[in-house]
Amino acid sequence: MEEGKELGIAIGEERGRSEAKLEAAQNLINLGVSFDIIAKAQDLPLETVQQLAEQLKAVPVQTN
């Protein structure tokens, strides 16, 4: 039972790290940082960064 709990915690932590990387990549895309640099800085595949950028094109950017 304890192993299952630990596994669940580990999976949750990994998901959190992945979501944080994607959120940071999104912010960097919005700032105009090159996709290559984002991929290297966030340790993400370049294709993932490109896909995220395509998704962001469909969402209007809000300015304050």
How do residues 1-53 score in pLDDT, each as one tens digit?
Answer: 788 878 788 788 878 889 999 999 999 999 999 999 999 999 999 999 999 99
Q: Which two tokens stand for residue 3?
A: 């192993």
pLDDT for residue 8: 81
pLDDT for residue 59: 65
CA distance 13 to 6: 11
User: Which of residues 45 and 58 earns the better pLDDT score?
Assistant: 45
CA 61 to chain centre: 17
Close Cβ partners of 25 (under 8 Å, ≥ 6 residues apart):
38, 42, 44, 48, 49, 52
H or E segment at 3? helix 2-30
